[in-house]
Amino acid sequence: MKLSVTLLSLVGWLITTNFVHADPRWPLEPSIDALELKQMSAILVQQNGAIVFEQYYNGSQADDLHDIRSASKSITSLLFGIALKQQQVASLEQPVLPVFKDYQPLHHDFAAKQNMTFFDLLSMTNPLECDDFNNFSAGHEERMYLQADWIEFTLSLPERGYQPWTAAPHERPYQRAFAYCTAGIALVGAALERITQASLSDYAEQHLFAPLDIQNVKWLTSPKGITQGGGGLQIRPRDLVKIGQLMLNQGRWQNREIVTPQWVKESFTPYSQAMPEMNADYGLTWWIFNIQSDASTLQAFAAAGNGGNYLFVVPELNLVSVITSKAYNTPYMHQQTHQVFKEIILPKARANITR
């Protein structure tokens, strides 16, 4: 009986863990397995341009597409940067509303909305009452999905207010107030479709995915047929590593400039304090985690999504890491991904870079 139980346990391990590749200097499996991770699907680590660890879990395979949820926002931001490089958009400070003249006059019209720029949307500091972290918010993404026209939903939102017991925007770090707004990034995607006269998915295929040899992705669309730039992209973890390496390479891929170094710099520049409890700031759709290490601070830039889906980029360590998980809407989803990254991957990457 004991033998059969042991054999059954071994078979269960083989089903849930699909080991693909690791540098012998990166024996991470015992440390990762000891965490007893829930609903994990993939962990990949690339340092100095080479994959040093790649493992899949719970039946996931290397060629499976993974729904990275809101980490998709950073792809949409990259596409805006490409459109900027191609001079299809004038600047980050270009006003948004002229792109949607057919939606005027606006419901809940106000000056800050009329002056709203693409920077306001991409930095999550727009003037709309839109906050996915607040279930009472008029602009919560779950309310958007209940309407057929997501553009109308977003452009009709009221002006954002601030509780009198909280600091005013000009009193906060970076003089801006963060509010996580999926609808705002969906609006950026819709604007890009109008500006480029192509679906966001086709534009991404031509100008981002094809140059990086990313051949298989799936996008969501709104009931009106507009590509959802705010979340739900399905992509292989290996291909997400390529996106991270592109950012690490200052926008270059195999001697071709996909996006400018200036765009990468602006994407990784903090514009608001997003989550003080995690020492996290926010750039242009990229989270900036300031991780204390001995007497210094290490910056990790991340595209992040529901379920614990993360693409980490750490220039100081020449490191890209992708962690995908299907722990959607669970209380532990982000915690366990950060635990793997901070407690297991980062220490090994630091040791490897200093040898």
Rounded to 5 degrees, what angle do the CA atoms 227, 202, 61 make?
80
Q: What is the pLDDT of residue 188?
A: 99
Q: What is the pLDDT of residue 355?
A: 59
Please, which residues bridge with residue 227 across strands? 221
Please, which residues bridge with residue 55 across strands? 19, 43
Nearest to 195, CA basis, from 119, 89, 120: 89
- pTM for the predicted model, two decimal places: 0.93
- Low-confidence residues in the chain, pLDDT < 70: 1-19, 22, 294, 354-355
Domains for the chain: give ranges and CATH numbers. Answer: 66-235 (3.40.710.10)
Nearest to 74, CA basis, from 293, 230, 222: 230
Q: Which helix (H) or strand (E) holds 2?
A: helix 2-16
What letter represents residue 199's amino acid?
Answer: S
Burial 72-93 (b: 16+ CB within 10 A, else e): bbbbbbbbbbbbbbeeebeebe
Q: What is the pLDDT of residue 294?
A: 67
Phi, psi angle pair for 298, to nearest 5°:
-105, 130
Tokens standing for residue 343: 């407690």
Please, which residues bridge with residue 14 across strands? none
Segment 272-310, tens digit of pLDDT: 999 999 999 999 999 999 998 767 789 999 999 999 999
Q: What is the pLDDT of residue 27?
A: 87
Distance CA 230, CA 186 (A): 5
Instruction: Give the dihedral of Cα atoms 270, 272, 273, 278; nearest 10 deg.
Output: -50
Q: What is the pLDDT of residue 4?
A: 35
Please report the DSSP string for 246-306 in residue order.
Answer: HHHTTTEETTEESS-HHHHHHHTS--EEEEGGGTEEE-SS-EEEEEEETTEEEEEEEEEET
Please, which residues bridge with residue 40 across strands? 325
Q: What is the pLDDT of residue 8?
A: 31
Q: What is the pLDDT of residue 11?
A: 36
Tokens standing for residue 48: 């100095």
